[in-house]
RNA sequence: GCCCUGGUAGUGUAGUGGCCGAUCAUGUGGCCCUGUCGAGGCUGCGACGCGGGUUCAAAUCCCGUCCGGGGCGCCA
């Protein structure tokens, strides 16, 4: 007999023989009658045990199975209005496939919470909880939504190396590794490769892949390994084209999640707001002015830090009713390390770079890249970059490079803000941070 | 890199010098219970991260160390 899921058993006729299996979530014993609650990926079904019907020995064996053991049940479906799914199983045979040890390092349905550290140490058990698994089902839909958008917009999905010789943003945050005796690094960003492909004439590319940063942080929004969504497009008029594409992408993806993940979002109690296009754009300078008007003062040069981001996020939400807005025209001094950023023609103290904020947190960074070789070299020399280290990056700029630009988006952060997770790690199966390398 | 905070049964906690041979819950073992679904009742089990120090006395104070959680910087 083939195993069926709890949800499928709902459809069976009363009295049908069937086989179900899963994890024994709990056993409820009430004297001569007992109930087994068994969980599979579709739900929790109940097996009813009557000592009179199955005999004392079988009854005892069944109620002694440790919880979270994997069990297979063959039996008859019986309709009842006393369970959530509207049926229970009267067993013919109960087989323990894999007995769980006691005690569990982490209770799956205990009435006490566990700390994050304990949960992540025992992540496989943590993920047996429906509300944890649902996060990853939404994540799956989110990724589908992103790919759906890029297919529709005629982008091609690419894969660039994660073992690289140089980083995009200096050396401070690179993970070093030994590459056959040569010094190499884990990629922080596919940025430079995307640009090379613009020189190859791909015109529209995107990549969804891990990125690595060796920063020593301890926040709810950073991980050492995160999933980065990057796109790049050429023959653009300016950074507004990139922002347009970005906001369409967000709107499309969120709508996709809302449509395909409706029930799951309901289960998680998430009300997903779909933003309208185009998103609000606020130049960096204007952000500073807004903050000043609200009474914020700076000792030195005014900058937008974490606290300021939150304040601005709330302000935009109240004034314009949206969770999303762009901070545009980042000053050149703020984007100092970003040598490839194109600056404004009329004011070189400003760049074409922007961030996209979602619920007061940075989600996207992007802009138009400098495609003119001489200017690019000038900008690199300005901050003291050794051109030799970047020779393979610079080559394509000498033989015909179109105007282009793109973004990087933190997929884990998008998921975090979408589901209102209080920590980005909740949306990552096995997160990596400065204090965690296992599991 | 700077700063804050915490480590007590399997899990989550109370306890800030003697009242602690350590609280409560959850879990787990035993017993009772034939419709439970946060079941209920009775009863048992189980812990002070590690190393030094102060003191008549340390879970509690001090130093070091290891391991968590978080803030800032930085960033996606």
- Distance CA(A17)–CA(A232), nearest Å, equals 56
Of the pLDDT bands very low, low, confident and very high (cuts 50, 70, 90), residue A280 is: very high
Q: Is the C-beta of residue A123 closer than 7 Å to nucleic acid chain B? A: no
User: Given a cut of 60, is residue A84 above it in pLDDT?
Assistant: yes
Q: What domains can you pick out in chain A, each with its CATH number? A: 3-98 (2.40.50.140), 125-427 (3.30.930.10)
At A149 the pLDDT is 98
At A31 the pLDDT is 87
Partners of residue A110 on adjacent β-strands = none
Tell me the ipTM for this assembly. Answer: 0.90
User: Given a cut of 80, is residue A390 above it in pLDDT?
Assistant: yes
- Distance CA(A135)–CA(A184), nearest Å, equals 34
At A167 the pLDDT is 62
Total residue count of chain A as it appears in this document: 439
Q: Strand B: which of residues 247-286 in chain A lie with Cβ below 7 A?
A: none
Q: In the structure encoding, which two tokens stand for residue A11, read together? A: 């459809």
- Which strand B bases fall within 7 angstroms of a protein CB? 1-3, 10-13, 25-29, 32-40, 67-76
Q: Strand B: which of residues 223-242 in chain A lie with Cβ below 7 A?
A: 223-224, 226, 228
User: Given a cut of 90, is residue A297 above it in pLDDT?
Assistant: no
What DSSP string runs through A269-311?
Answer: T--PPPPPSSPEEEEHHHHHHHHHHTT---SSS----HHHHHH
8 A C-beta contact, residue A186 and residue A163: yes
Spell out a b/e string for A129-141, using b for 16 or more CB atoms within 10 Å of the CB, else e: bbebebbebbbeb
CA of A263 to C1' of B14 (A): 40
Q: Containing H/E element for A343?
A: none
Of the pLDDT bands very low, low, confident and very high (cuts 50, 70, 90), residue A202 is: very high
- Distance CA(A271)–CA(A347), nearest Å, equals 42
CA of A4 to C1' of B34 (A): 29
* Non-local CB neighbours of A372 within 8 Å, separated by 6+ positions: A397, A401
CA of A100 to C1' of B59 (A): 34
Q: Is the dihedral angle over the CA atoms A169, A172, A174, A176 positive or is it negative?
A: positive
User: Given a cut of 80, is residue A123 above it in pLDDT?
Assistant: yes
Strands A163-164 and A182-186: antiparallel
Q: What mean pLDDT do residues A33-54 have? A: 94
Q: What mean pLDDT do residues A275-298 have? A: 92
Q: SS3 for A315? A: helix
Q: What mean pLDDT do residues A352-377 have? A: 96
Per-residue pLDDT of A249-258, as tens digits, reads 999 999 999 9
At A165 the pLDDT is 87
User: Given a cut of 80, is residue A406 above it in pLDDT?
Assistant: yes
Of the pLDDT bands very low, low, confident and very high (cuts 50, 70, 90), residue A171 is: low
User: Given a cut of 70, is residue A168 above it in pLDDT?
Assistant: no
- The distance in angstroms from the start CA to the end CA of chain A is 36
User: Given a cut of 60, is residue A169 above it in pLDDT?
Assistant: no
At A389 the pLDDT is 81
- Report the Cα A334 to chain-centroid distance in Å: 27
User: Given a cut of 60, is residue A170 above it in pLDDT?
Assistant: no
User: How confident is the prediction for chain A on average, in pLDDT?
Assistant: 93
What DSSP string runs through A197-237?
Answer: HHHTT--EEEEEEEEE-------TT--SEEEEEEEEEES-S
At A61 the pLDDT is 92
Assess whether the previous peptide bond of A377 is cis (omega < 30° from 0). no
CA of A82 to C1' of B39 (A): 14
Q: Is the C-beta of residue A348 closer than 7 Å to nucleic acid chain B? A: no
At A60 the pLDDT is 93
- Distance CA(A238)–CA(A404), nearest Å, equals 8
Of the pLDDT bands very low, low, confident and very high (cuts 50, 70, 90), residue A383 is: confident
Q: What mean pLDDT do residues A299-316 have? A: 91
At A276 the pLDDT is 92
Assess whether the previous peptide bond of A302 is cis (omega < 30° from 0). no
User: Given a cut of 70, is residue A43 above it in pLDDT?
Assistant: yes
Q: What mean pLDDT do residues A292-303 have? A: 85
User: Given a cut of 80, is residue A166 above it in pLDDT?
Assistant: no
Q: What is the dihedral of CA A328, A333, A335, A336, to 10 degrees?
A: 160
Per-residue pLDDT of A212-235, as tens digits, reads 999 989 999 999 999 999 999 999
CA of A213 to C1' of B4 (A): 24
Which amino acid residue lies closest to nucleotide B38, measuring CA to C1'? A111
Q: What mean pLDDT do residues A112-120 have? A: 92
Q: What mean pLDDT do residues A289-308 have? A: 88
8 A C-beta contact, residue A287 and residue A316: no
CA of A116 to C1' of B57 (A): 37
Q: Containing H/E element for A87?
A: strand A87-98
């Amino acid at each position: 007999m083939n195993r069926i899921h709890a949800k499928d058993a709902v459809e069976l006729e009363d009295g049908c023989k069937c086989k179900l299996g899963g994890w024994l979530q709990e056993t409820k014993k009430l004297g001569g009658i007992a109930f087994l609650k068994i969980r599979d990926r579709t739900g929790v079904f109940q097996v009813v045990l009557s000592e009179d019907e199955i005999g004392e020995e079988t009854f005892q064996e069944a109620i002694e199975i440790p919880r979270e053991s994997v069990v297979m049940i063959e039996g008859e479906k019986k309709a009842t209005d006393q369970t959530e799914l509207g049926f229970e199983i009267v067993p013919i045979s109960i087989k323990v496939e894999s007995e769980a040890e006691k005690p569990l390092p982490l209770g799956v349905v205990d009435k006490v919470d566990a700390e994050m550290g304990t949960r992540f140490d025992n992540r496989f058990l943590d993920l047996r909880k429906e509300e944890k698994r649902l996060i990853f089902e939404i994540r799956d839909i989110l990724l589908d939504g992103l790919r759906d958008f890029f297919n529709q917009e005629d982008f091609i999905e690419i894969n660039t190396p994660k073992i690289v010789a140089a980083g995009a943003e200096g050396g401070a945050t690179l993970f070093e590794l030994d590459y056959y005796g040569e010094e190499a690094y884990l990629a922080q960003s596919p940025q430079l490769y995307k640009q090379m492909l613009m020189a190859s004439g791909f015109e529209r590319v995107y990549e969804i892949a891990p990125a690595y940063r060796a920063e020593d942080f301890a926040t709810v929004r950073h991980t050492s390994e995160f999933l980065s969504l990057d796109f790049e497009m050429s023959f653009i008029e300016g950074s507004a084209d990139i922002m347009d594409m970005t906001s369409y992408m967000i709107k499309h993806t969120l709508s996709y999640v809302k449509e395909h993940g409706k029930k799951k979002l309901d289960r998680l109690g998430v009300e997903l707001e779909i933003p309208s296009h185009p998103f609000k754009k606020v130049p960096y300078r204007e952000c500073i002015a807004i903050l000043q008007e609200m009474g914020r003062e700076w000792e030195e040069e005014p900058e937008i830090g974490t606290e300021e981001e939150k304040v601005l996020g709330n302000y935009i939400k109240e004034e314009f009713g949206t969770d999303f807005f762009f901070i545009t025209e980042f000053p050149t001094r703020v984007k100092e390390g970003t040598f490839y950023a194109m600056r404004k023609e009329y004011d070189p103290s400003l760049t074409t770079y922007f961030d996209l904020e979602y619920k007061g947190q940075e989600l996207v960074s992007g802009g138009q890249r400098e495609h003119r070789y001489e200017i690019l070299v000038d900008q690199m020399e300005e901050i003291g970059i050794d051109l030799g280290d970047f020779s393979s990056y610079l080559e394509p700029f000498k033989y015909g490079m179109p105007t282009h630009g793109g973004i990087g988006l933190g997929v884990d952060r998008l998921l975090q803000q979408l589901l209102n997770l209080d920590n980005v790690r909740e949306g990552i199966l096995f997160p990596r941070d400065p204090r965690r390398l296992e599991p």
